[in-house]
A and B are shown apart, each in its own frame.
Chain A
Amino acid sequence: MQKKECVAMLLAGGEGRRLGALTEQIAKPAVHFGGKYRIIDFTLSNCTNSGIDAVGVLTQYQPLVLNSYIGIGSPWDLDRKSGGVTVLPPYMKSAGGDWYRGTANAIYQNIDFVEQFDPEYLLVISGDHIYKMDYDWMLQEHKENHADATIAVIEVPWEETSRFGIMRTDEAGRIIEFSEKPKDATSNLASMGVYIFTWSVLKSYLMKDAADPKSSNDFGKDIIPHLLSDNANLMAYRYKGYWKDVGTIHSLWEANMDLLQEKPSLNLNDHGWRIYSQNPNQPAQYIAPTAQLTNSLVNEGCEVAGRVDHSVLFYGVQVEEGSHIIDSVIMPNVQIGRGAVIRRSIVGEGTVIGAGCQIGSVDGEITLIPSGKTII
Chain B
Amino acid sequence: MKRAMGVINLINEIDFLEVLNRNRCVAAVPFGGRYRLIDFILSGMVNSGMSKVAVFTHMKYRALMDHLGSGKEWDLDRKRGGLFVLPLNTEEHDERAKGDLYQFYCQRDYFHRSKQDVVVITRSHMVCNIDLEPAIQAHLDGDADITMVYKHTADETLSRNRRIRLDEAGRVVEMQDHNGRLVSDNVSMEIFIMTKDFLLDLVETSLAQGYDHFFRDAIMKNMNQLKIASYEYTGYLGIINTIQSYYHHSMNLLIPEVRKELFSKNGLIYTKIKDEPPARYLDGSIVQNALIANGCIVEGTVENSILFRGVKIRAGAVVRNSIVLQNGEIYPGSSITNAILDKDVKVLEGKVLQGDPSAPFLAVKRSIIGQ
Contacts and interface: CB of A to CB of B under 8 A. Distances in A.
A binds B: yes
A156 interface: no
A281 B268 contact: yes
A202 B294 CA distance: 43
A279 to B, nearest CB: 5
Interface string A268-279: 110000111101
Question: Which of the listed residues B256, B273, B279, B285 has the most CB atoms from chain A within 10 Å of its own CB?
Answer: B279
A344 B110 CA distance: 60
Contacts of A51: none
Contacts of B297: 269
Interface stretch (A13-21, A291-299, A352-360): A291-299
Contact of A298 (B268, B279, B307): B279
B184 interface: no
A279 B277 CA distance: 11
A285 B275 contact: no
B69 to A, nearest CB: 12
B287 A293 contact: yes
A288 interface: yes
A313 interface: yes
B302 to A, nearest CB: 8
B292 interface: yes
A312 B279 CA distance: 10
B71 to A, nearest CB: 13
A281 B275 CA distance: 11
Contacts of B285: 293-294
Nearest to A277: B275
B74 to A, nearest CB: 10
B288 A291 contact: yes
B280 A297 contact: yes
B282 interface: yes
Q: Is the interface of A mostly helix, strand, loop or mixed?
A: loop
B148 to A, nearest CB: 29
Interface residues of B, number: 38
A274 B278 contact: no
Given A283-B263, A284-B32, A296 B281 contact: yes
A286 interface: yes
Interface string B219-260: 000000000000000000000000000000000001010010
A289 B304 CA distance: 9
Given A74-B72, A295-B283, A300-B293, A286 B254 contact: yes
A34 interface: yes
B72 A269 contact: no
Given A35-B278, A295-B281, A297-B278, A286 B294 contact: no
A298 B275 CA distance: 14
A312 B278 CA distance: 9
Nearest to A294: B283
A298 B290 contact: no
B256 A286 contact: yes
Contacts of A286: 254, 256, 259, 290-292
A313 B292 CA distance: 14
Contacts of A283: 32-34, 259, 263-264, 269, 291
A275 B275 contact: yes
A287 interface: yes
B278 A298 contact: yes
B7 interface: no
B275 A274 contact: yes
B306 A284 contact: yes
Contacts of B282: 262, 294-295
A296 B278 CA distance: 9
Given A35-B278, A295-B282, A298-B279, A287 B34 contact: no
B33 A269 contact: no
B279 A297 contact: yes
Nearest to B304: A289
Contacts of B264: 283
A36 interface: yes
A287 B288 contact: yes
Contacts of A297: 277-281
Contact of B291 (A274, A275, A284, A296): A284
Interface of A: 34-36, 74-75, 262, 268-269, 274-277, 279, 281-289, 291, 293-300, 303, 308, 312-314
23 contacts: A35-B278, A36-B277, A281-B268, A281-B270, A282-B268, A283-B33, A283-B264, A284-B292, A284-B293, A285-B291, A286-B256, A286-B259, A286-B291, A287-B291, A291-B288, A295-B281, A296-B280, A296-B281, A297-B278, A297-B280, A298-B281, A299-B294, A300-B293
Minimum-distance CB pairs A-B, first 10? A284-B33, A268-B277, A35-B278, A299-B278, A283-B263, A293-B281, A284-B293, A287-B287, A289-B289, A297-B278
Given A279-B273, A283-B32, 11 more contacts: A35-B278, A281-B270, A283-B259, A287-B287, A287-B302, A288-B288, A294-B284, A295-B282, A297-B278, A297-B279, A300-B278
